[in-house]
Amino acid sequence: MSQRSTAEPPARRFPGVEIRALSYPDLPQVIAIERRVFPTPWSLAMFVLELSKQSGICLAAVDEGGLVGYMICSRYDTVWHIMNIAVDLDRQQRGIASALLAELYRRVGEETARFTLEVRRSNAVAIHLYEREGFRAAGTRRRYYQDNGEDALVMWRTPATLGGTLDDVPNPGPV
């Protein structure tokens, strides 16, 4: 479902945070957060491209102070790829990323949906979050991050990983 669909379900509320579709007017705040959170931030053009895709789900987390987090997820064939998820530095570890993920799962609406993402091997907080969400490490992308050549851990959330195995993960490799 596109974030611009007229049949879009109503926004969900979490304690102090509203999760809604990300829109073009949000991009200045997104870019500001992106630059604070990531050593190699996405460009404005990258966000515009992802927002323009009909098959993607782009979400914003908003509280009384404005936009505090966002998520970009694209669908490729039968797999949802979480491309970017960020929460502003002063709002991290308050459940906002979990709220964004919960809304993503709700909007996808398929119990058998498969999700994948890459995360820095050094980002223990994010890895722990993804493991709590049912993601499991299934491979490594060597020298994935441009800023320092750090490897990325490839993680999947599938019906099998929710059950504790990698049985339905394509080509799992060493982690």
Domain boundaries, the chain: 1-109, 114-175
Is the pLDDT at 7 greater than 80? The verdict is no
CB 114 within 8 A of CB 168: yes
Does pTM surpass 0.75? yes
Q: What confidence score (pLDDT) does residue 14 get? A: 58
Q: Which residue has the higher pLDDT, 3 or 41?
A: 41
* Each residue's pLDDT tens digit, 72-118: 999 999 999 999 999 999 999 999 999 999 999 999 999 999 999 99
Q: Is the pLDDT of residue 32 over 70?
A: yes
Residue 51: phi and psi, rounded to 5, are -65, -30
Q: What angle do CA 89, 82, 34 make, to 5 degrees?
A: 30
- CATH 3.40.630.30, applies to 114-175: yes
The answer on pLDDT for 133 being more than 80 is yes
Q: Is the pLDDT of residue 2 over 60?
A: no
SS3 13: strand
Give me the residue label for tokens 């906002």: 96
Q: Report the mean per-residue pLDDT for the chain.
A: 90
pLDDT in tens, 50-70: 999 988 999 999 998 899 999
Evaluate whether 151 touches 117 at the Cβ level (below 8 Å).
no
The packing angle between helices 96-108 and 124-132, to 10°, is: 40
Mean pLDDT of 139-157: 92
- Give pLDDT, residue 62: 96
Contact indicator for 38, 147 with CB cutoff of 8 Å: no
CATH number for the region 1-109 comes to 3.40.630.30
